[in-house]
Amino acid sequence: MAVETPVTAGTSSPPVPRPERRGARRRGAAGWLFILPFLLVFAAFLVAPLVYAGYLSLWTKGLATGTTFAGIDNYTRAFSDPSFRKGLWFVLRFSLVVIPLQIIVALVAALLLDEITGRLARFSRLTIFLPYAIPAVLGALMWGFLYSPSFGPIEQIASFFDVRAPFLLSQGNVYYGLLNVVTWQWSGYYMIIIYAALKGIDSSIYEAARIDGASARQIAVRVKVPMVGSALALILVFSLIGTLQFFSEPQILRPIANGSITPDFTPNIYAYELAFNYAQFNYASAISFALGFVVFVAVAIFMFVTRKRGSLFT
């Protein structure tokens, strides 16, 4: 009669046969081959330009002095530059308004679509998401036509009633004109994220809330919104990063803004002007990295605050 040897605590597991180890290594190598094209593109078009821009930001070039090592002098100059601080102040103020507005619009749309079923729901989702599918450049051109005081439909409708429509890209209205453009462009994308999070909630939770006497509004506010808090936090991070790097829409609308959108309107536009209109590539690189540092600090603070509180909406 064979006696089984008991396995005592601390006994190491039997070694993996050599053929299985070779098979695991082979599968791992195959996986790396699949992602190699992405890694090459990522390194060539993101990592390498960032490294080169970082290198440029540490040097300065002058007609008389030539190229000299500047160290952090370009960064010190950037944070004391009134044009950079002016653009940074604008995107910070813009973020405080556009981010809550986008989230409110996206959240309300997602909650309404979650209650709609059938073909109407599919059509509504597509309609709300469609602005995000339009490239930002084309969207800005479209809004430029709509805002135009010469031939835009807003002015034509106003002239029909013998009134003058406000020019939404004028000095006093450009903030609100861009606010409308960005909200229209991104709310549909954020709505899809929230809607996907809502669809991942177990329907039995809603049934339990209804049994307890909760109304549809109470379920939406007290059940659905807290349970998509992680999705809302993700949207906040995305929108914060994107808004602080505001560039495409104001840059496209500059020709018809009649001077309201200046070369230092946002930090990215300022860096673009320095690099491609004044050939100050070293200082423009420092401006870009200074903005990246501000974005990193803002996101880090937000992540720290939300992590300390456990959840953003609970």
> Residue ranges per domain, the chain?
31-69, 80-308
Residues 110/116/118/123 CA torsion (nearest 10 deg)? -50
Domain made up of 80-308: CATH architecture: Orthogonal Bundle (1.10)
User: Cβ of 138: how many Cβ atoms within 10 Å?
Assistant: 10
Give the range among 33-42, 117-126, 211-220, 297-306 with minimum mean pLDDT. Answer: 117-126
Tens digit of each residue's pLDDT (9 = 90 or more) over 196-243: 999 988 889 989 999 988 888 899 989 999 999 889 999 999 999 999
* Angstrom distance (rounded) from CA 233 to CA 230: 5
Task: Dump pLDDT digits (tens) for 3-15.
Answer: 455 555 555 555 5
Tokens 């309300």 -> residue: 108
Q: Which two tokens stand for residue 83?
A: 């044009």
> Where residue 22 falls among pLDDT bands split at 50, 70, 90?
low
Instruction: Give 70-80 pLDDT, tens digit per residue.
Output: 889 999 999 99
